Structure 1
Amino acid sequence: MCIQIIEPSKKAQLKYKNEIKTLNNQVVALIDQKDGLIAKAWNQLKVASRAKDRVETLSVKQRKTTKGIEKLTTSLRRQEETLKTAKKGFSTAMVRVNKSKKYWQSCTYATEKSCKQMIVKKLGLKHTGQMKEDSVYAQSMHSLCCQLVMAGVSAKQVPNIIGICAHTFGVDPGPLPDPRSVGWFILEGVAAKIQVGNTLSDTQGITTSMDSTSHCNINFSSMHVMANSAGSHQQLYLAVESTTDHTSQTQVQVLKNTLDNICSTTCHALKCESSSSVMPCSSDLAQKLYRVNGDHASNQLKVAQLEKEWKIDSWVTHLGKSALFSLEESGSRALSDSIYESVKASAGGSGLFSALSTAEQEDSLALELQKCVWDMGNTAFNQSPPILKQDMSCLVHGGCCAHKDMNALKGGSKAMSAFWKANQHLAPPVKLFNKDNDATVTLVGPSIKPSKAEQQAYNMTESGAIKLCSLAGAAYVMYIGILLNSVHIH
């Protein structure tokens, strides 16, 4: 068989060469790509190796840091324990220091007190009451400073005046307040008056409580007020004033003056300057008066009666002013003409009235106007409905029960004494002999006649519960005296 080899044409050879060349180029490109991938993979392997080394380094550092933190934690715990121990020791030391400080303060106070007593004894001065209570000046010092300032003494000179007066009368005044403290005393007093005034202006009912006494031949009158409002009841202290006597008229007048002073202070306060509901005087408070507390002494009963009259007079004046302000123009002119005619007639005619000074004419007209207002108010008061009139004149007096109990006890004792004297055939209460009469009286039989001394001791000795309480009180006083004497000696 004959194989015929056909040679490709030049065109086909050229095509095959181009394809082979293209394949060679692709193979070269693949080889280059392979080399690039291998190089990239090698680089990534190096990076991974470096990262691994870095991680191992960081792990080592972390372990070292953890060990350092553990060491620091242990050190902090030890330091905390040391600090607690030191703090405990410091607290113990501070307790000792405070005890030592109190001890030295007491020693210093005792030394100062001893030196002051020596100075007082050397100068012949008398001790006064305690002017300070727990580093705070007593209320008596507050009152004294306020009274001196009200009398015209400058606040800066009050301590000097007190010291001069005290040493002049041979009295040791103790620590005196500085001018700044005196100023605070004045402000506290004014603030207290304003507080009382605001409370009384808003109250619906008032109860007064007053009593008077004497100390070292000086009369004093104390005053309290119970202000009753919706849901609240407040007891307010007004004042303790020195009076000329114990009469009921003086007590009521002192109460009026005190309330007028409180109302005036309240009206001049900054908060109340523009308020129209603030009471101008004590007569407005008298209209709210419903109760009076006191005892059953005659002067206190008279005080209740005077306060009731004061309340009625206040209502009459209020009704008269209301009627005056409600007059029309014609009524006002008629009232003015009648006042002028009445004043001229009282003066003796127009000529004599014109001869008076302007001040005297004004006083006469004001007095006549007050009379007219009073007449108008009295007429309105009498024409008021019975319920309203009863409310305007209502005043309840509450007396102290102690006086009633004491009077009942005295009356019962007197009645029992009269009973035993009238029934001598009955066995009387046991005689309570003192030590002298007990030594005089002997136990004699019924057939033996007692001597005159024994009979006198028997007749002079009292019996009963009052005598028993008197003896018990005397024994108690004697026991307290012995106890105090023993404590003083100790």
Structure 2
Amino acid sequence: MSLCIMDLVEEGASPAKVDTIIRSVAKTLGVTITDSISSRTARRVVQQAAVASKIQAVDAVHHSAGAILSGDGTSHKGLNYESRHVHFVNPETNERQTLFLGLCLAPNHTSEEQLEGWVELIDEMHEAYMESPLGAKEPLDKREFYVKVVGMLTDHAADQKKLFSLFEKLKRSMEREVRGERVLKMVAPGEILQITIDLSAQAVEAAGGIAAWDALSNEERTRRNTELTADVIRHFGQRDFENLMPEQKAEVDFCIWCGCAMHKDLNAHKGAMAKAATYWDEKRKTPPIYLPNKDNEAASRLGNDAERARVQKISARGGIKLCELMGLLLKHKDSKRGQQERHSLYFEA
């Protein structure tokens, strides 16, 4: 019944209508229902499914050979939305699978904010997993999730390339930390103490000296001490990494960025239009007239030669401009502008 509720909500039924739909179908099939499902129950079932999906994603990634993350964002009425997915090969069926990791609001679309969103999501997923019976039976380290990531799929925007660079740096940091914890068992205590002293001195110097360190709040000092401990562990992890063969290093740090095919058709079309536009000069024929907007038309009429040349350069003409104008007229993105509703009603009639 929980699966039935989830399917109905996924297909667009509101939680308040789930009970009515089930009763209607049951009545048609001659099935008697003796209880009811409230809208609250339907919502809680969906919430439970969200938790189960996080647990599923963590379990799937940790037991796969590697995973690829992908994400995209858009804005609507001034709000930024981010959607995320994870892709992997199921080790049991050897099939490629994709899991949806949710849709969330983001304060902005900067690379740093997007990385923070990924970190928070991975933390939430592992928190849900560790609190489940599956996590109690088989605990998993969230840092291993980053190690498992071997690629990221985004669009070609500069902020996405920077996001991948930041994530790759974080992945390597997590790998060195996990590696460092593993090799610390084989390091002499005196050596660990010496490295800790050296890094502690650097941390105090970076804070502005011993007086500035002592002036830090207890929370800030605790945070920096925690980071210092991680730095010590990563130091030994990096040292162990440097002892690997070049091909082993490449395998450990393997992580690639893939760009989507967005705008490729558009770019090909624009290139073709630019080439086709040379036809008129080559054949010495009169090209289609320019169709500038009202402001550019006024500037072309009243301005000098340089202004008229600028207007011609930025104004379109011919079939591509005609298609643009017809789009604005018959399918305007603003529902209160354009003739799309009258156009639809005319053809329906």
- Same fold, TM-score > 0.5, yes or no: yes
| Contact 2:156/2:260 (<8 A) preserved | yes
Name 2:192's counterpart in structure 1: 335
User: 1:269 maps to what in 2?
Assistant: 132
Distance change (3 Å), C-alpha of 1:273 and 1:305: same
Q: By how many angstroms is 1:206 displaced?
A: 0.8
Which residue of the partner structure matches residue 101 of structure 2?
A: 238
Cα pair 1:287 1:315 within 8 Å, conserved: yes
2:90 is aligned to 229
Rate the CA distance shift 1:224–1:344 in 2: closer, same or farther, 3 A.
closer
Deviations 1:451-488 (A, max 9, x none): xxxxx9xx989544423433554575378533533589
2:164 is aligned, of 278, 282, 304, to 304
Find the aligned partners of 1:319 and 1:139 in 2 and give their Cα distance: 47
Higher relative contact order (CA 8 A, sep 6+): 2
User: Residue 391 in 1 paired to residue 251 in 2?
Assistant: yes
- Deviation, 1:216, is 0.7
2:173 is matched with which residue? 313
Stretch moving more, 361-370 or 215-224? 361-370
Residue aligned with 2:68, SS:
strand
Q: What does residue 254 of structure 1 align with? A: 117
Letter in 1 for 2:59: N
Which one of the candidate residues 189, 194, 203 is aligned to 2:64? 203
RMSD (CA atoms)? 4.2
Alignment counterpart, residue 374 of structure 1, candidates 218, 222, 234: 234
What's the offset of the Cα at 1:218?
0.5
Shift in alpha-carbon separation, 1:298–1:177, aligned structure 2, 3 A: farther
Superposed CA deviations along residues 233-257 of structure 1, whole A, max 9, x for unmatched, are 1100001110011112211221121
Percent identical = 21
CA contact (8 A) 1:194 1:266 kept: yes
The 1:482–1:290 alpha-carbon spacing in structure 2 relative to 1, beyond 3 Å, is same
**Which digits, 9 at most, give the CA deviation of each residue in 1:5-25, with x for residues without a partner?**
xxxxxxxxxxxxxxxxxxxxx
Q: Could you say which residue in structure 1 is the equivalent of 2:303?
A: none
Cα deviation per residue 1:410-434 (whole Å; 9 max; x = unaligned)? 34434554x368x376124555989
1:405 equivalent to 2:268? Answer no
Letter in 1 for 2:170: W
Aligned mate of 1:194, from 55, 58, 76? 55
Structure 1, residues 291-339: CA drift from partner, whole Å, max 9, x if none?
2212111112222222222222222222222221332xxx124423653
Query: Offset of 1:409 from its aligned partner?
Result: 3.0
Q: Does 2:284 match 1:426?
A: yes
Q: Are positions 1:218 and 2:76 aligned together? A: no
Deviations 1:144-171 (A, max 9, x none): xxxxxxxxxxxxxxxxxxxxxxxxxxxx
1:402 is paired with a residue whose SS is: coil
Cα offsets for 1:55-87 (capped at 9, x unmatched): xxxxxxxxxxxxxxxxxxxxxxxxxxxxxxxxx
- What CA deviation, in whole Å up to 9, does each residue of 1:388-418 have, x standing for no partner? 211222222222223233234334434554x
Give yes or no for contact 2:199–2:232 (8 Å, CA) kept in 1: no
Pairwise CA distance, 1:363: 5.4
Match of 2:150 in 1: 290
* CA contact 2:155–2:260 (8 Å) conserved in 1: yes
User: How far apart in 2 are the matches of 1:298 and 1:202?
Assistant: 33
Q: How many residues align?
A: 294
The one-letter amino acid paired with 1:293 is L
Give unpaired runs (5+ residues) of structure 2: 16-36, 293-307, 332-337
Residues 262-295 of structure 1: CA distance to partner in whole angstroms, max 9, x if unpaired? 11211221133032xx4221x2111111222121
The aligned residue for residue 469 of structure 1 is: 323
Distance 2:214 2:158 in 1: 50
Partner of 2:140: 279
**Aligned-partner Cα distance in 2 for 1:279–1:139:** 35
Residues 298, 484 of structure 1: alpha-carbon distance in 2 compared, 3 angstrom cutoff = same
Q: After TM superposition, give the deviation of residue 228 of structure 1 in Å.
A: 1.9
Measure how far apart 1:358 and its partner are.
8.6
Gaps of 5+ in 1: 1-131, 143-175, 435-455
CA 1:415–1:299 in 2, change beyond 3 Å: closer, same or farther?
Answer: farther
Amino acid at match of 2:161: L
